[in-house]
Amino acid sequence: MSDVVLITGGGIGIGRATALAFAAQGDRVVITDVLEAEGRAVVAEIEAAGGTAEFKFLDVTDTQQANAVVADVEARLGSVDVIVANAGIAHRVPLEELTDEKWDQTFDIDLKGMLRVVRPAAAGMKARGKGAVICLSSIMGVAYGWDEHVHYSAAKSGVVGLVRGLAVELARSGIRVNGVAPGYIRTAQLLSEKHSLGPVAVETVGEIIPLGRVGQPDDIADVIVFLASKGARYLTGQVITVDGGLLVGRY
């Protein structure tokens, strides 16, 4: 039986790869993003391959909008079975330039944005006695610090606490909550010279990764699909690092 899968930040990168992966196994995918053209392009790609998808504009900093999107999907499609809370930003800001506003913006999107989608969907999941939530953290949230990204590291660490708290609170209702902490993944974010490694460094960073390469978005998407599946039925409250062995290999 297919699931209804709601993905935030589904227009590009890991979100896009995740949408394609769920659609490929026959699930109905609801792609949300502030990037409308990119989101609709993913829908078209899925439909061209014979899958089922739709796009909904969603700014995860808008509580009323998040409530409305979840309510609309439940009313029309009957349920939200899986949530992939992926939307996020990672802007390079040196500490002396890190204003309260910039800190708050990052937390509002990267952490609170997850709560805004999970919270309205929880009641329906509880009523059905099942559901899966997967939240995107980062190696910068579970192990590494990241200079000039203190706000990002802090928010992604917060995702770990969010996963643990939600997992315990929702477990008796049959809802599982897990997280994924990606390492270096070839996305627009990683390729940004302004905010991350940039294209030159990306070509060499694979040398320090035990598996010998930078990850691809579908390397993360496949783990997310597993976490939503019956194969992970006894797994909750965990944040799985998917980094090609980077953390264990740094000695």
User: What string of DSSP letters covers 140-199?
Assistant: HHHT---TT-HHHHHHHHHHHHHHHHHHHHHGGGTEEEEEEEE-SB-SHHHH-TTTSSHH
User: What 8-state DSSP symbol labels residue 97?
Assistant: G
Q: Which amino acid is at 230?
A: K
Write down the residue that tokens 């990168």 correspond to: 13
Q: How far apart are CA 124 and CA 92, in angstroms?
A: 38
Catalytic one among 144, 152, 234, 251? 152
Does the annotation mark 152 as catalytic?
yes
Looking at residue 213, the DSSP 8-state letter turns out to be S
User: In sequence order, what are the beta bridge partners of 8?
Assistant: 32
User: Any residues with CB less than 8 A from the CB of 48 and at least 6 apart, and which?
Assistant: none
Residue 75 CA, chain-centre distance (Å), reads 24
Exposure b/e, 93-109, CB count within 10 A at least 16 = b:
beeeebeeeebeebbbb
Contact status, residue 202 vs residue 170, Cβ threshold 8 Å: no
DSSP state of 222: H
Instruction: Please report where in the chains the tokens 């390492």 appear, as a residue.
Output: 183
Q: Which sequence positions are flagged as catalytic? A: 152
